[in-house]
Homo-oligomer: A and B are copies of this chain.
Amino acid sequence: MEATMKKATFYHAGCPVCVEAEQQFASALDPKMYEVEVVHLGESRSRLDEAEGAGVKSVPALVVDGIPFHINHGADLSDLR
């Protein structure tokens, strides 16, 4: 029996703090449990609303199962608009 895959979305803006977090975190999640999507909000501004709707206030942030986690601090979401 297979476990249900959970969704994890890593939002970033290409800043050094973001890149470090991505390299350590997004790739560290258990690939058997999580389907990880990486979203560059500086390039995909159309997804800013989605990120904000999930409770993301700054990047880098990881939304796991709908819950936002802010990892260190690179930039406020408002600075990306």
Contact = CB atoms under 8 A, between A and B. Distances in A.
Interface of A: 8, 20-21, 24-25, 28-31, 33-34, 64-65, 67, 69-72
Nearest to A60: B69
Nearest to A30: B30
Contacts of A25: 64, 69
Nearest to A32: B30
A34 B24 contact: no
Contact of A29 (B20, B28, B70): B28
B71 A24 contact: no
A30 B67 CA distance: 19
B33 A28 contact: yes
